[in-house]
Structure formats: structure tokens, C-alpha cells
Chains A and B, each alone.
Chain A
């Protein structure tokens, strides 16, 4: 019998994306990329990257049919 879908991988992905996004938006890392010399649209690009990661993790959910 095939093993049941491993929901752990999906949930791991969710937590990893959350921690990554949290780190990007938290002051220590935030102040390293959000500097006055950066282009004005940089925060939007970072935000978009986080959204893409969330969407990618949600694709894992489909695979495990949760």
C-alpha cells in the first residue's frame, strides 16, 4: 500500500515560507535591503517574491490533497 500523503512536507513548507518572510520583513534583515539608495519599487519586489513562495507552497498542498 502506498504511504498516506505526507502532510508534513506541506506544513514544513508553510512554516519555512513564514519564517523566511518574517525574517525579510523583520528589522535586522529589513534594514539591510530597505536603504534609501534602493529603487523605490524594491519593497514591492520583495513582497511579490514572498507571494510567489506562498503560491508555490500551496501547490504542494494540492499534491498531497489535503
Chain B
């Protein structure tokens, strides 16, 4: 069964097109975000670790080195077990300082462009054999499937196709700083394809070749040497070396660093990947022994490196070999695409840009984009060139391991970066150079020698008496040991520069150095743009400044020195993502100079410290952790105070702003902090300024409009002692006490008192009127009985009628004025109709000129349960308001509806109505539609309170210009709780 070369090429291209479609669909948002950002998608994307070495080479490695092949994955498992102490700190550092590669990280930490250059060159040299390995594996798999030697042009065609796709995946956009979600999803899909293909081959081997697990056991019983040959090499082979190498490779290989750190969308995903990624690797390797034994049993005739393909011919079907081939293409393409992207970024930042920076007239973004594209092509073609010069009989694993030993040389530097502030640039460069030289002597030169290059590699192992030691262990330990010894030794012999110390502190995140200095060469974002344009070009400078302003949520009109310093830092970090940390620092240092001697404002320092402490919470331990807990506790006390509290620095800038003042002012803490008192919105700016300038430490009952309504505050201030000197100068603390509720209560009380005194006056007047009226009534009665003149009798009858009317009015007045406090004992059944009549009679007295028409439509039998006087007060207020709103001679209707223990009373007028803006506030105190001096705004508030006391509710609807309807819902009978309470009160 042979395949046509063109068919295989076509299948490969179709597969890559499918991958591109997935990436494109992700970028367009066709794939749901919950899938794109799912931690398992991220974990699968790390599967780029498994290349053709894993897909094809593991079987060959297992055949020659037994279970040693598993150490390549167990080391990764150990590295991911240390995610929180090894990988997460690197991720945070890279994210905070926009570092996109390991070379960026080293250049940033050791403050050395040379470090970036050496790391890049070494990474490039160490990775080319690995790229060559992928090309070799794909061409050999084609050879196996077509049974003929593929032309070199096929490998070149494969490389050119991958250049195209690598550019499409990772260098399509003009701004190369963005993360490539499409790439992450496509690589995760590739991992699934690899897993599915290898499992399909494994399942065929298990059931198609052995007939199930029983068959495997039988075969192993017949061939005990097969199992022994897996276990035996563990005792003799380079197990520990491989474990160490794969531990390093898990996060130091360019492709691993790129997917784990650079393309990470959420830090949380890393902690899921800690177990999910090793689990993926376990599943990928589960069938390797079965495939090996199936290959041995079938005698496929292929090299063990390609048993994965060889045994599929036994299936008699073309599908399985094609699937295995696609799996291999998938493994190779994922590795080559991601590696070329990662290396291109390094080469751009550390080789191309420092060597040939574009002039400001060139569009920087376009230049970077094309630079990156060119570098991708150059790197893949360099891998192809390496493939051409390689001797073909190199094992797949041998080529991969050369790269593993190369990247392991970065381990001392990374450990120094994360945990050793004493590490110096000289130590790092000495260690890396020494390690790289020994790597070249022990591994690279022998490889080239074996490939026919006219050179003689020195046999270092024999010279040092380690001829018996396996080559991998010797090369690893001699290079890494020398590297580490030089790194630590030279670091201890040299002193870190101030810059290095600053970078070390930033990497460790344990010490906090306060921000210092102000930008002196520019005083506004506009000037930032102008100054940067001379290096970046006008367009790029504009975009970078705008981006930094957006990131910080800062205004383009910002002029505060502290904020401009933050803007400068953000621009430096953003540029670092674009062109590396060293170049970005040089540009910013040159164009936006700082005066480091200027002292920062206290508010800025405290803000900086708090932000840093929040960020570094996980790293604090011992005494520092205890002190941090204490700080948080005090902070919480201040935050939770029920009165508004804020502190100001000596420069009158807000340092702290608690929750109560947030809710009083409507200004959130983040916006207020760092703001000067003069910049606070009104009325706070003038209130605070008045307090600060006042000779007394208190301002009482200050009225200020908040949201258009008056509010009352007591303000208190106190000077804060400077914690360092003990004298004044630490700023001011201000307390804001909201008195509005107390003020409302006082006003309500005064209003009630005023009403009560008027009531008492009315009662006195009524009493004084009552006596003469009684006299008049008696005289009229006498007149009526003593005269026979009909006209006189009629007149006396009318006098009697009028005196009765006067008496009725007087009784109403006396009853209304007979106020008193609300007591539950005063609750009784009250006839609604009579109550409304009485209220109308009282209202008529005060609105006599208007000649209002009151229509009391309440059914006679309807009764309310409550305090008669207070119920009367409700209806007097409502009818009085209705009269005020109506024209003279207007109509007011009162109707009622009884339902389930409650009565709904509707008071309807056809007057001016209530404006829409006030309708929701009419029951609040001091809200009135009347002209100043005409109403207090307390009437409806009182109605609301009385109705609530009765367990009812009140609502209002209004149609401005057409009238208002007030609906009062009151109980018609005592509620159970009220009855119980009344019974208890009476028994007591």
C-alpha cells in the first residue's frame, strides 16, 4: 500500500488550511470566548512540547532506552508541580513589564543588551537542530508512505508552506504586541489531533495486533525480554540527566516559554495546566510500549522511530496511515510555527533593532511587522539548511536532546532572576558563555563531525576520564556545572550596579523602592508625543501615548507630575512589548528625561506602596506577613467607619477615602486618591477648602446641595503627625458627619410644634366662640317659642341652623387640635365617610376663597382602624394639597374600595399635577412643588410616616397639567400582631 506524494502534500496543506481557519475564526469571535479562554484550551496549547520526537521518536527511544523515554515527560510534570514558585513568578514579571521572551527577561534583569544578544544567538543555535529534526521526521514519514526517497524540494516546499502559515498565525497584524488567541486555539487543536492520531494507532496496536490486553500479556509472557528491556535501562541509562533536561525544557524552550508565558491569557489557567498538561502528556505516551511491541511483533521493516507509521499498514486500510501522517505533520508544524515566532521576536528585539533601528520617517509598526516576517522566514530556512547538512542517520531523539541541553544552560540565570538578588550581569554572562562553549564542544561539534564537516571534535570526556559516562550525562553536567559555578562565582566576585539592583528588586517583588523624580523634558501627554515622535515617528508616538493613557485611564490633559511619571513608566513597558526592554528604556530615558532628585508626593508614595503590597501578597511571610495583616486591619477600620473619613497629604492631595465618604460624595476611592482638594468636585472642594482654612477644627451644620437636594454636614479636621519626625507635616484627616436625617427630624418636630400651637390657639378661639354661640342659640330658641310671627319664627329657625353649623365647625376644630402623641391604645374603628367630611370641612375653612367642590364618594359603612386624629391629619393634608393644586371652583373626589382587611382611599384632583422629576421624591422631606414660602415640603412626608405607622402604604400618580391621584391603603381591622401587642399592653 503506497501513497502518492502529491496526495500527501495536498493532505498536509488542507490540514494546515483547517488550522488557519480555526485561528481566523477565533480572531473573528466565531468560537465562543469561554472555549478560547478555557484553562483546558491553554493546557492543550502547551502540548506544542510534543513534537515529532514524541509522536514518532518516542517508540524508537523506548526501543533503545526503555522507560527512559518517559523521563522526557516526567521532568515536565515535576516542573509544572512547581508552577507557583517557578513559572507563575516569571509570568507575572513578563506581564507586568511586557517581556515577550526569555531573552527579554534576561536583558531586563541583568540590564544588558549583550545578555539579550547572547541568549538570542545561543537559543537560535540550540534550536536549529530541533527544527531540522521536524523536517527530517516529516520527510522520512513521506518516504515510508510513498516507499520512495522524497526529493529535497519536498522538504523545501514544507518549509515554505510553514513560513506562510507562521506569518499568518503570528505576524498578520500590524501591532505585534497583541496576544494571539487564534494561535492558542489552533495549537490546542493540533494537540488534540496528535493525541487522537497516536491513540488511534495505539488502539489498533492493542486490538488489531494483539487482540486486547490479554494478547499483550500473552505476548509478553512469550517474550519476557521485551518488558525487561523497558525497565532495565532505567537503572543504567541517563534517567536523572533526562529528568533534569526535560525539567528545564518545560519552560525554557522558546516554544514553551512562548505558549506558557507570552500567550497566556489568564494567570488562573496556569494552575489548571499544572495538572492538565502532564495528564495530556501521560495520555499521549500511554500506548508507546504497545506500539513498540506491535512493531516488533509485525516486523514492519521500518526503523523503530517510525513504528507509529509502520504498523498502520497492517490495518489494510488507508485511513489509519493517513491519520498517523497528519498527526506527524501536526506535531512538526506546531513546533516550527511557534518556535519561529518566538525566535523571531527575540531576534527582532535583540539583534535586528539594536543593529539597524529605523529612521523616524518610516512607519515603525510596519517596519516591525515586516522585520518579524522576514525573521520567521530566515529562521525556518536556517533550520532547513541545518537539515540539509545533517547526516541522515541521526536519531530523532538525539537531535532533540541537543536543544534540551542548550536551553538547560538558562536554568542558573532563571534561578538567579527569581531568587538571588546578588546575581550580577558579569556572572550571568560568564556562566552562559562557559556553558554554551562546553555545549558546543561536547554536543554540537561531534554532531557536525558525524555529518561530514571537516572538523575534529575534541573528546573532552576521555580527557577528563569520563569515557565510560554516557554522552548526554557528561555533556549536561560538564556544561551546566561549569555554567552554574561561573555564574555564582563571578556574581560573588563582582558587585551589581544600581540598575541591576533595581531590576533585581523588581524581579523579586519583595522590597519596595518608592518612586522618585519627575519628568522634566515634557509637561503634558501632548509634549510626550512630540518628544517621542523624534525617535518613534509621529504615528507610532501618537498611538503609544494614547495606548498608555487608555491603559491608565488618564486624561490627555493630565499635567500632574506624579501622573506624568506613571505615564512615562507605562510607555516604557508598552514599548518593551514592542521592541524589548533595553531599547524601550533607552528611548524613554533619552526622550523623556527625569529629575530623580525631586521628592514624590506622600499621596503618590502611599498609593504606590499599597498597590505593590496588594500585588505581592502571596510572597510575604513571617514578620512581613504579620505586619501586612495589621496594615489591612487598620485599613479595614478606616474603610468601615460609619462617618466619612479622608486623609490629605501636606500638599492637600487625597491619600485615603473611606466607604462612607464614597457614598456621601458619589466619588469612588480610586478616582479620589491622588486628587488635589481644589480638583474635587463641588461642593466638596469648597467645603474642604473652607475647613482647611478655618482657624477652628470644626464646622457645624454646613449646608451643601447634593444631587439638587440640601444636605447638612458637620466637618472636623485634625493634623496628622509626621510618622518619621513626630511633628506636624503628615497632612490632615477630615471627618464628615452627615446630619441630614437629624436636621430633617428637627424640622419635622418644629413643624409639628407649630401646627400644635396653631391647634391650641384654634381650640382656645373655638372655646371662646362656643359660649356666645350657645347664648345666641338659646336666645333664638326663646325667640322662636315666644313669638307667633311666622317670619320671626323662620328667622329664629335660620339662626338656630347657623349656630348648629358654627358649633359643628367649632367641634371639628377642637377635635383636630386635640392632638397628642401617637399611641396604639388610641386605635379604634373610624368611619371613613365622616372622617373625610370632617377633613373637608376643615380644609374649606382655610380655602374658603376658592369655593372648592368636595365629592365624598366613600361608602357610608366603610371603616378604618386607626388613630382618628392622625387619620384626620392624613386627609386634611391630602385635601389641602389637592386644593392648593386646583383652580378656584375645582373639584376634588374622594373614593374608597375595601379589600381583604384594607381600604384603598383615592384622593383625586384635577389641578396642575406634579412634575415628573419630583414624582419619585414627593414623600421625602423638604420636597415641594409650591413656591418658596408657600409650603414646607413636610406635609406629604408626615402623611407617609402616619400611613406607615398604621401599617399601610401610600402612592401617587400624576399627569402634569391634568391632575393627581393619591392612593392611601389603610387597614380596616386590627392586624393580628397589633391585636396581640395591644392585649399584652392591657394585661401589663
Taking Cβ atoms with an 8 Å cutoff, the residues of A that contact B are: 1, 3-4, 7-8, 10-11, 14-15, 17-18, 21-22, 25-27, 30-31, 34-36, 38, 40, 43-44, 47-48, 50-52, 54-55, 57-58, 61, 66
In the complex, chain B residues whose CB is within 8 Å of the CB of A26 = 240
Please judge, given known A-B contacts A66-B84, A66-B618, whether A58 and B271 are in contact too, CB under 8 Å: yes
| Chain A residues, Cβ within 8 Å of B286 | 44
Assembled-state Cα–Cα distance A40/B67 (Å): 10
Q: Are A40 and B81 in touch, CB under 8 angstroms?
A: no
Least CB separation from B619: chain A residue: A7
A22–B85 CA distance with the chains assembled, in angstroms: 16
Can you list 14 A-B contacts with CB-CB less than 8 angstroms, sorted by A residue number?
A3-B629, A4-B625, A7-B617, A14-B81, A14-B83, A18-B81, A18-B82, A31-B235, A34-B234, A36-B228, A47-B70, A48-B282, A51-B275, A52-B275
> Is the C-beta of B315 less than 8 angstroms from some C-beta in chain A?
no
Q: Is the CB of B629 within 8 A of A14?
A: no
B811 → A minimal CB distance (Å): 64
Q: In the complex, which of the residues B85, B231, B282, B628 contacts A44, with contact meaning CB atoms closer than 8 Å? A: B282
Set of chain A residues within 8 Å of B275, measured between Cβ atoms: 51-52, 54-55, 58
B789 in contact (CB, < 8 A):
no
Q: Which residues of chain B come closer than 8 Å to A40, judged between CB atoms?
A: 216, 220, 227, 230, 289
Contact assessment for A18 and B289 in the assembled complex, using a CB-CB cutoff below 8 Å: no
**CB proximity to A under 8 Å, residues B678-715:** none
B468, CB-defined interface residue at 8 Å? no
Of the candidate stretches B72-80, B304-312, B590-598, the one touching chain A is B72-80
Does any Cβ of A come within 8 Å of B802's Cβ? no
Neighbouring B residues of A7 by C-beta, 8 Å: 617-618
How far, in whole Å, are A31 and B232 apart by their CA atoms in the complex? 9
Distance in angstroms between the alpha carbons of A18 and B721 in the assembled complex: 50
A18–B234 CB distance below 8 A: no
Question: Is the beta-carbon distance between B70 and A17 smaller than 8 angstroms?
Answer: no
Q: Are A36 and B231 in contact, CB atoms less than 8 angstroms apart?
A: yes
**SS of A interface (majority):** helix
Residues of A with C-beta under 8 A to B636 = 1
Assuming A38-B231, A44-B286, A55-B275, is B629 touching A4 (CB within 8 A)? yes
With A1-B636, A66-B618 in contact, is A22–B78 under 8 Å at CB? yes
With A27-B239, A47-B74 given, is the CB distance from A11 to B230 under 8 Å?
A: no
A1-B84 Cα distance, complex, nearest whole Å: 27
Nearest CB on A from B635, distance (A): 10
Residue contact B271 to A61, C-beta cutoff 8 Å? yes
B230 closest partner in A (C-beta): A40
State whether the Cβ of B401 lies closer than 8 Å to any Cβ in chain A: no
B620 to chain A: closest residue by CB: A7
In the complex, what's the smallest C-beta–C-beta distance from A65 to chain B, in angstroms? 10
Q: Across the interface, do B279 and A51 meet the contact criterion of CB distance under 8 Å?
A: yes
* Apart from the given pairs A25-B78, A50-B77, A54-B81, 7 other A-B contacts in the complex at a CB distance below 8 Å: A3-B629, A4-B629, A14-B84, A25-B74, A51-B279, A58-B272, A58-B275
Kindly identify which residue among B78, B224, B228, B628 contacts A4, using a CB–CB cutoff of 8 Å: B628
Are A36 and B81 neighbours in the complex by a CB distance under 8 Å?
A: no
Bound CA–CA A66/B234 (angstroms): 38
Are the C-beta atoms of B243 and A25 separated by less than 8 Å?
yes
Residue B274 lies at the interface, judged by CB distance under 8 Å to chain A = yes
Interface flag for B632 (CB, 8 Å): yes
Chain B residues closer than 8 Å to A3, beta-carbon distance: 629
Determine the distance from Cα of A36 to Cα of B229 in the docked complex, in whole angstroms.
8
The 10 closest A-B pairs by CB, nearest first: A55-B275, A36-B228, A36-B231, A54-B275, A18-B81, A7-B618, A1-B633, A51-B278, A54-B81, A58-B271
Chain A residue with Cβ nearest B288: A44
Name the interface residues of B74-133: CB closer than 8 Å to any CB of A.
Answer: 74, 77-78, 80-85
Q: Shortest distance in angstroms between B59's beta carbon and chain A's nearest beta carbon?
A: 14
Interface residue? B317 (CB, 8 A)? no
Q: Is B222 an interface residue (CB 8 A)?
A: no
- Please state if A50 and B618 are interface contacts (CB–CB under 8 Å): no
Q: Are B621's CB and A54's CB within 8 A?
A: no
CA A50 – CA B73 in complex, angstroms? 12
Number of chain B residues whose Cβ lies closer than 8 Å to a Cβ of chain A: 45
Interface residues of B in 608-638 (CB under 8 A from A): 617-618, 621, 625, 628-629, 632-633, 636
The B interface, classified by DSSP as helix, strand, loop or mixed, is helix
Question: Could you mark each residue 967-986 of chain B with 1 if its beta carbon is under 8 Å from any beta carbon of chain A, else 0?
Answer: 00000000000000000000
Contact A54 B67 (CB under 8 A): no
Write out the residue numbers on chain B whose beta carbons fall within 8 Å of the beta carbon of A11.
84-85
A21 & B67 in contact (Cβ 8 Å cutoff)? no
Docked-complex contact B274 and A43, CB < 8 angstroms: no
How far in angstroms is the closest Cβ of chain A from B612?
Answer: 16
CB distance from A20 to the nearest CB of B (A): 9
Contacts of B629 in A (CB 8 A): 3-4
CA–CA, A10 and B235, complex, Å: 34
Q: Which of A36, A38, A57, A66 has the most CB of B within 10 A?
A: A36
Alpha-carbon gap, A28 to B282, bound state (A): 23
Give the residue name and chain of the A residue nearest to B77 (CB).
Answer: A50
Q: State whether B272 touches A43 (Cβ < 8 A).
A: no
Q: In the complex where A36-B227, A51-B77, A51-B279 touch, is A61 in contact with B67 (Cβ < 8 A)?
A: no
Residues on B with C-beta less than 8 A from A51 are 77, 275, 278-279, 282
Which chain B residues border A48 with CB–CB below 8 Å?
282
Q: Of residues 10 to 30 in B, which have CB atoms within 8 Å of A's CB atoms? A: none
Query: Are A54 and B274 in touch, CB under 8 angstroms?
Result: yes
Contact of B84 among A22, A55, A61 (CB under 8 A): A61
Report if A43-B84 is in contact (Cβ < 8 Å); known contacts: A30-B234, A34-B231, A58-B271: no
* Contacting residue for B82 out of A14, A34, A50, CB 8 A: A14
Closest to A7 in B: B618
Chain B min CB distance to A51 (Å): 5
Across the interface, which residues of A come within 8 angstroms of B621, CB to CB? 8
Interchain CB contact under 8 A, B227 and A18:
no
For the complex, give the distance between the alpha carbons of A43 and B231 in Å. 10
Q: Are B618 and A43 neighbours in the complex by a CB distance under 8 Å? A: no
What separation, in Å, do the CA atoms of A22 and B239 have in the docked complex?
Answer: 12
| Chain A residues near B81 (CB-CB < 8 A) | 14, 17-18, 21, 50, 54, 57
Chain A contacts for B224, CB-based, 8 A:
36
**Cβ-defined contact, B633 with A21, below 8 A:** no
Q: Please, which residues of chain B bring their CB within 8 A of the CB of A36?
A: 224, 227-228, 231-232
Alpha-carbon gap, A51 to B78, bound state (A): 9
Closest-by-CB residue of B relative to A46 is B74
A62 to B14, CA, bound (A): 42
What is the chain B residue whose CB lies nearest that of A19?
B81
Q: Which residues of chain B (207-229) have a CB below 8 Å from chain A? A: 216, 220, 224, 227-228
Interface contact A14-B240, CB-CB below 8 Å: no
Q: Shortest distance in angstroms between B418's beta carbon and chain A's nearest beta carbon?
A: 14
CA distance A61 to B234 in the complex (A): 34
Alpha-carbon gap, A48 to B275, bound state (A):
10
Q: How far does the alpha carbon of A36 sit from the alpha carbon of B223 in the complex, in Å?
A: 12
| Known A11-B84, A14-B82; contact A54-B231, beta-carbon cutoff 8 A | no
B residues 55-81 touching A (CB-CB < 8 Å): 67, 70-71, 73-74, 77-78, 80-81
A10 to B230: give the CA distance in the assembly, Å.
Answer: 36
Known: A8-B621, A14-B82. A54 touches B278 (CB 8 A): yes
Chain A residue contacts of B618, Cβ below 8 A = 7, 66
CB distance from A31 to the nearest CB of B (A): 6
A37 to chain B, nearest CB (A): 8
A43 contacts which chain B residues (CB < 8 A)?
A: 67, 70
* Nearest-CB residue, chain A, relative to B633: A1
CA distance A15 to B271 in the complex (A): 15
Q: How far is the CA of A42 from the CA of B984 in the complex (A)?
A: 78
Expressed in whole angstroms, the Cα–Cα distance for A4 and B398 within the complex equals 50
Closest partner residue, chain A, to B637 (CB atom): A1
